[in-house]
Chain A
Amino acid sequence: KNQVEQSPQSLIILEGKNCTLQCNYTVSPFSNLRWYKQDTGRGPVSLTIMTFSENTKSNGRYTATLDADTKQSSLHITASQLSDSASYICVVSVVSSNTGKLIFGQGTTLQVKP
């Protein structure tokens, strides 16, 4: 069964600290993996998108890693800011023949406190 699991479910950190969010997937055939940030009441915003051959990708203070062998990804946030408080969603794209779908994780809710 195609699944994407994220951990932890929620996280509280102090402003300025770093944190790492995890994503494990059992999806086949894998096309790409994305991380999205979703603020409360708004649509998700893309942070990174990685294909099978990419191990790491950065977007400012956000760095995503991908290990296609172990089917794990992580999102590292450096020097957190209050505006980083949001839900972070891991999404895996499955493509076979001419069909495809996106499998979403349940998200990690991050709260950054002053």
Chain B
Amino acid sequence: KAGVTQTPRYLIKTRGQQVTLSCSPISGHRSVSWYQQTPGQGLQFLFEYFSETQRNKGNFPGRFSGRQFSNSRSEMNVSTLELGDSALYLCASSLGTNMNTEAFFGQGTRLTVV
């Protein structure tokens, strides 16, 4: 059974640009959550999508958005990139909502903003 797949693995963008990251969950999982990990702040919850609807949201500005497709694949978009957005972005999939069921993480996308 394939795990959670994130693409791309590495990305370099310039300030002001926008970026789209992709996450394919484990087959059968309906929940996809996104997280930002930085050395200073650690892991922080961005948002969760379940059956194409955003169910939960962390404390991030509106520049961070996402969506989920009917096949449960999810994309996260960050607009008007800032240097502080440089981080490892992780997604996790769960059978039910990520709040109550075990989450399986992908390897992450390392975003560098220059």
Interface residues of A (CB under 8 A from B): 31-32, 34, 36, 41-46, 49, 89, 91, 93-95, 98-107
Main secondary structure of the interface of A (DSSP, over half): strand
B86 at the interface (CB under 8 A from A): no
- Chain A CB within 10 Å, residue with most, of B42, B57, B97, B102: B42
Interface residues of B (CB under 8 A from A): 4, 33, 42-45, 48, 55-58, 90, 92, 97-100, 102-108
Report how far A51 CA is from B11 CA in the complex, Å.
Answer: 38
With a CB–CB cut-off of 8 A, which chain B residues contact A44? 43, 90, 105
A107's closest neighbor in chain B, by CB? Answer: B42
20 A-B contact pairs sorted by A residue (CB < 8 Å)? A31-B100, A42-B108, A43-B90, A43-B92, A43-B105, A43-B106, A44-B43, A44-B105, A46-B104, A91-B43, A99-B56, A100-B48, A100-B55, A100-B99, A100-B100, A101-B45, A102-B45, A102-B99, A104-B43, A105-B42
With a CB–CB cut-off of 8 A, which chain A residues contact B103? 46
Main secondary structure of the interface of B (DSSP, over half): strand
Report how far A18 CA is from B56 CA in the complex, Å.
Answer: 38
How many residue pairs at the A-B interface have CB separations less than 8 Å?
Answer: 59
Least CB distance from B109 to A in Å reads 11
With a CB–CB cut-off of 8 A, which chain B residues contact A46? 102-104
- A31 and B99: CB pair below 8 A? yes
Report how far A41 CA is from B107 CA in the complex, Å.
Answer: 8
With a CB–CB cut-off of 8 A, which chain B residues contact A103? 45
With a CB–CB cut-off of 8 A, which chain A residues contact B98? 102
- A101 and B58: CB pair below 8 A? yes
- Chain B CB within 10 Å, residue with most, of A34, A102, A104, A105: A102
- B99 and A106: CB pair below 8 A? no
With a CB–CB cut-off of 8 A, which chain B residues contact A95? 99-100
